[in-house]
Amino acid sequence: MKKDDLLIKLVELRNQANNAGSKEAVERQHSRGKLTARERIEALVDSGSFVELDQLARHRATGFGIENTRPLTDGVITGWGYVQGKKIFIYSQDFTVLGGSLGARVAEKIVKVMDLAASVGAPIIGINDGGGARIQEGVAALAGYGDIFLRNVKYSGVVPQISVIAGPCAGGAVYSPALTDFVIMVEGTSHMFITGPDVVKAVTGEEVTQEELGGAKTHSSKSGVAHVVCKDEKELFLKLRELLEFLPSNNGSSGGFITEQAKSQENKGKKRSKQRNDDIFELMQLDDLGIYDVREIIDTVCDTDEFFEISGAFAPNIVCGFSRINSEPIGIVANQPSVYSGALDVDACEKAARFVRTCDAFNIPILTLVDVSGFIPGVDQERSGIIRHGAKLLYAFAEASVPMVQVVTRRAYGGAFVVMGSKSLGADVSFALPVAEIAVMHAQSAVDIISRRDLEMFEKGSPEFIAKNRELVKDYYEKFANPFLAAERGLIDDVIAPNEVRSKVSSSFAMLKGKKAVNVFRKHEILPL
C-alpha cells in the first residue's frame, strides 16, 4: 500500500472508532439523560488534553455470532489527560458499543491504563456504564474482572482511585468500584447491585425496582456504597473535578491541586472567621439540650466556605469531608450534635474509619471536631457489632501518621472521646473550648450512679432534692469534667476561646507540616474488619 493510502486508511479507522456506536444507540443514550463515553471524558479533562490508547482494539471472541460484530474500541475508551493541569488516567465504558460489556480485550485495555497510572503516580478514574461480563466470552470475561480487581487492591493507597457510576453496574462488575477510594453516582440513571430485581423476585419473592434496590439514594443513605451523589452528569463532572483538587497525585506527594481560587480563599476565611466569632461563641454556650450544625464551625475554621462532604446522607451523626487551611487540603471528621447528639453508631464508626484511612494513605492532615455523647446503646447496635466497628475507628486513628489536630467543642464522654482521635491515640495537638466537658460520662448520669444514696434522703422532685442534685452535678463537673482539669493532666494541650479556634488550628497544621512518623515493619496489619 502506498503511504497516502495508509494515511487514508488510518483516518478511516479513527473515524470508525470515534463513531463506534450507532446513531440510534447514541440517541437512546442521550434520551436517558446520559452522555456518551467520549462526551464524558471531554466533560472531565482539560480541553484537547486527552490522549487515547488502544483506539483500534477489537475483540477476538467467537461463538453465538459475536465474531460477526467486532467494533473498534471494543466498548471502552481509555487513555490519559489533564484536569486543571493535573495528570489523570481514565477509562470510560461505552454503552453504545456492545452494551459496554466487558470482555477479555476490554479488560486488557483497562488494566493497561491502571498499570500506567500506578507507574507514573497519577489518579485512576473509571466511568462505569455497562452490561457486565460479556456472556459470549464466558470465563475469559470473568478472568478479566479478576485482573482489574487485583490492580484495584494492588494500587490501593498508592494512587487515588475514583469510580463514576454513570449507568448500570451489576453482578461482579460492582466489586471494582467497591474497591476504589470514592464512588460517585447520579440520581435516576446510576444503579449498582449484585443481583437485579428479577433475580431477587425469583429467589425471595420480593418485588423491588432498580432504583429501590441499587439507585443513588439507596447507596448514599442506606448501604454507604456511594460517597457523592449528583443530580445529573453535568454536576457529576464538576464535582469530580472539585474532588480531584483535594487529592494528591499519589501517596508519595502531599497536598492536592491548589488553584488560585483556593489561595484567595485563605484570606477570605480569616475575614469570615473574625466576623463570626461572636456567633460561634454563642453557639458553643448551648445547654445540654441545645443543638447546632457542626458545618457552621467547619465553615468558620477553614479557608473556603466550600466544604466537600463525603457520604453526607449516610450516618449523618458524623460529618466527613475535605476543606482547606492555609490553602492546603485537610480532611475533617466531626461529630454532628444535631443528629443523635453526635453519638457514634455502627455506620458512623465505619464511615469515619474509612475516611481517616483514606486521608492517611494520601498524606492529607486530619482535623477532628469532637462533640460526642458516647456510643448509641441498644440491642441492635450490639448485635450489629458496635464493638468491632468502634475498633475500626480506633484503629484508623491509632495507625494514622499524618498531622492530626483535635478540638473538643463541647461534650467528650467515655470511650467515644478516646476513639475520636484523642491524644491517647496519637493526636499531635489537642484543644478544648472552655465549655467542653471531658469525662467518663455526663455529670448528671454520674451523679445518678455515685450519689444515689445522697439523693434518696430527699423526696424526688422536691426543692431540697433539686437543690442537692444541682450541687452534686456542679461538684462533679468541677472535680472531674471541666477542660481545665484535662489540660492540667495533659489530656489536652490547651483550653482556647472560640475566637481562637481558626488561628490555633491553622498554626498547629503549619507547625506539623513535614511531620515524619516511623512505623515498625510488618507484612500488613490485621484490621478488625
Active-site positions read 171-172, 415-416
CB 458 within 8 A of CB 468: yes
Quick one: three-class SS letters along 134-203? CHHHCHHHHHHHHHHHHHHHHCCCCCCEEEEECCEEEHHHHHHHHHCCEEEEECCCCEEECCCHHHHHHH
At 88, which amino acid appears? Answer: I
Residue among 220, 231, 244, 188 at smallest CA distance from 45? 244
Residues near 31 by beta carbon (within 8 Å), at least 6 away in sequence: none
Distance CA 474, CA 488 (A): 19
**Grid cell at residue 526:** 490485621
Per-position DSSP letters for 55-112, written without gaps between them? TT------STTGGG---TTTTEEEEEEEETTEEEEEEEE-TTTGGG-B-HHHHHHHHH
Phi, psi of 445 (to 5 degrees): -60, -40
Distance CA 12, CA 169 (A): 32
Secondary-structure percent of the chain, ordered helix, strand, coil, rounded to 5: 45, 15, 35
In this structure, what DSSP letter does residue 481 have?
I
